[in-house]
A and B are shown apart, each in its own frame.
Chain A
Amino acid sequence: MGLERAEESEIEVVSLRILERIDQEAKNFQIDLIVIGGYAVRAYTSPRSWRFTKDIDFITTRKGLGVLHSIFELLEYDFEQKDFGIKGSKKINTDSIELHISVDKVIDWSTRLEYRLPEDIFVSARKMKVKASFEQNRGLEVEVNVAPIEDVVAMKLMTERDRDHFDAMAVILDSFDELDLSRFAVICRQSDLDEHIRERLRSVLADIKRGLTRKLWKEFTGRKLIREQEVKLKTSIDKLLEAMARFEGA
């Protein structure tokens, strides 16, 4: 049977090492490249929320694209041009790790909405630790340049997928204190997503009221969302909505 594959945890080690290496090469070549998607959510949340694929998502600018091709060649990645940017792929035994690099904007294919990268996104990015998830890889962590929390939350709320909304809730719950409310309001407006995201946040509040958030939480973490967490989430979302309303009124 061809069902036996490499040890479960091995692929995570490879994926984290690739993440670290690309981040390092981007620094060496002085190009703007930061992590978004699942690995960014990992950086802002506690391990309980991690249900990500091994694939890696980055954003860059058109200026850095040429150099990125060279980096991919150096790392022996196959790559192809896509409507969102470039997609790279590397075989690891029978599995593969894919890279998605969005250029200048991030397109959500469930809504076809676009998140235009704010001018300050690369300067506001932070070096953060991304930890391994498997028990066998305990202690393994890499430090990479991660998108600011406001952008991560906005991108996750932009889509129509429950999975992304769960990610946004996990980030809000675990790292709300790091979130710059004014910047969040500004970047949502700049991408013309403010009404859409406001509607999404209101929908999360309604879900909390109807007990759907608990169901969503259980589906993704296998655990119960306790009342304290629910109250904290609700209070945080109220603050986000207030900040957006303040910005609109200003």
Chain B
Amino acid sequence: MRREMPEWLKRNYNTLWNLFKNEAFTFREVEKGLGTSRHMTVKTLWELEQRGFVSKERSEVDYRERTYRLISPEDINFVVGLYSLMEREKLERQTLMEKFVFIDEKLPYVITGSHAAYHYHRYMNPPRVLEVKTEPRDEGKWIAFLTDERTRVFLGDVIETTKVSNYVKLMHSNRPIKTIRRRTRQGYYIEKPEFLLTELLERQTQTSLAEAVAIIVKSRTDVEWNGPEGIVSLAKGSGISRILGFLLDAMNLEAGRPLIKPGIIKNIKKDVAGKSDQVFPRDEIVLSRLRELRNKLAHQALLTERERDELQRAIERLEGYKELGEKWGIRAILPRDVIRKVLEDLGVGLRKG
């Protein structure tokens, strides 16, 4: 974890900073700006990247195409100062999570997404991308602090890099970070379950919904349902009361017993009236599957009886919660096994039939 820069690298960094400041630039522009050979340009960018002093983005069309953005001198100084507070021998061996424990209150952050969810549900292990909400003004500091031999930090889409085991995705929060987080026993901060659940429900992917169901199953008696920072109120504020109510109802339906107190669902129902034209989940994969099946079924004359039955069954699978969707005034196209699998795996037991 080298942070000190040799003189030649300092010179090149300063030249580039004077040329580009916070603006994005390409390899060719660096070559031209520094007036160095290709070899030296590669070395400069590589050395800066290893130290976390430049952020790199790859083109989604051509993986080899990349643009760079320098981390500001102020942010670099901040991080060099941070590292000077650490014991030298610890620097080399620190895991990503230990870095978050070390940063503590020095920079506000909260771990969100699947990693935070795993902390509550211990169900489906998180992917290698750690989603962290930070202040936009601190992005440069985070990139410089977290980047090391094993970790790369991204602001936008995360693209696979060889020989790296951790990916960090920096995100923004629309609420003050310190109000939505709680400290774990291990010493790092994760999003409070109430806020995290709202976040997962808003994402509306099959995975985020499965994780939301798993958190509810595991923490339903611990989380705050009512009150200004309770799940019901947060969902109302985010315009997802229908989704929350639907999901809780679906969980009770699949379990065949009131896993979630009916009073909570009743409370949510009070906040929703009439119908909406909302399709739930707004998951392009599910939507596309349904469209594809409908198109195939539209050409009945070309289908065998077996094919027709299979298509019909597949459509029913996606529209298994049709009635429940009507109750909540949404068009539900959530495959029932998304919820059933979680309940079954977490030992809740399913309603017969």
Residues of A within 8 A of B (CB): 1-5, 7-8, 11-12, 47-48, 50-55, 89, 95-96, 98, 109-110, 133-136, 138, 160-163, 203, 206-207, 210, 212, 215-216, 218-224, 226-228
Extra contacts, 9 of them, besides A55-B345, A221-B127 (Cβ < 8 A), are A4-B185, A5-B122, A53-B125, A109-B337, A210-B288, A220-B207, A222-B167, A223-B127, A223-B167
Which chain B positions have C-beta within 8 A of A109?
337
Q: Footprint of A on B, CB under 8 Å?
A: 60-63, 95-97, 113-114, 118-120, 122-129, 131, 150, 157-160, 165-167, 169, 184-186, 193, 205-207, 219, 221-222, 284-285, 288, 292, 314, 317, 335, 337, 341, 345, 347
Q: How far is the CA of A136 from the CA of B126 in the complex (A)?
A: 14
| Contacts known (A3-B193, A135-B97, A162-B206); A222 close to B128, Cβ less than 8 A | yes
Report B17 CB to chain A, min CB distance, Å. Answer: 29
* B contacts with A: majority SS: mixed
Q: Which 6 A-B pairs rank lowest in CB-CB distance, beginning with the nearest?
A: A222-B129, A222-B127, A223-B158, A226-B63, A224-B157, A224-B159
Give the number of A-B contacts (CB < 8 Å).
Answer: 124
Q: By the criterion CB–CB under 8 Å, are A48 and B62 in contact? A: no
Q: CA separation between A63 and B222, bound complex, in Å?
A: 45
> What is the CB-to-nearest-CB distance from B63 to chain A, in angstroms, rounded to a whole number?
5
Give A55 Cβ to nearest chain B Cβ, in Å: 6
Task: Kindly list chain B residues whose C-beta atoms are within 8 Å of the C-beta of A48.
Answer: 127-128, 160
Q: Considering the chains assembled together, what is the distance between the CA atoms of A53 and B114 in angstroms?
A: 13
B125 and A221 contact, CB distance less than 8 A:
no
| B125 near A216: Cβ-Cβ < 8 Å | no
Cα A207 to Cα B291 with chains together (Å): 13
Contacts of A138 in B (CB 8 A): 165
Query: Do A161 and B95 form a contact, CB below 8 Å, given A51-B126, A222-B158?
Result: no
Chain B residues near A4 (CB-CB < 8 A): 184-185
> A8, B119: Cβ atoms under 8 Å?
yes
B284 near A215: Cβ-Cβ < 8 Å: yes
Cross-chain contact of A2 among B124, B221, B337 (Cβ < 8 A): B221
Q: What CA separation (Å) do A53 and B127 show in the bound complex?
A: 12
Q: Given the complex, which residues of B lie within 8 Å of A218, measured CB to CB?
A: 157
A219 and B95: CB pair below 8 A?
no
- Asked whether B125 lies within 8 Å of A133 as measured between CB atoms, the reply is yes
Contact between B347 and A89, CB atoms less than 8 A apart: yes
When distances are taken between beta carbons in the complex, the residues of chain B under 8 Å from A221 are: 127-129
Closest CB-CB distance, B167 to chain A, in whole Å? 7
The answer to whether B159 and A12 touch across the interface, beta carbons within 8 angstroms, is: no
Q: Is the pair B222, A3 in contact by a Cβ cutoff of 8 Å? A: yes
CB contacts (< 8 Å) of B186 on chain A: these are: 7
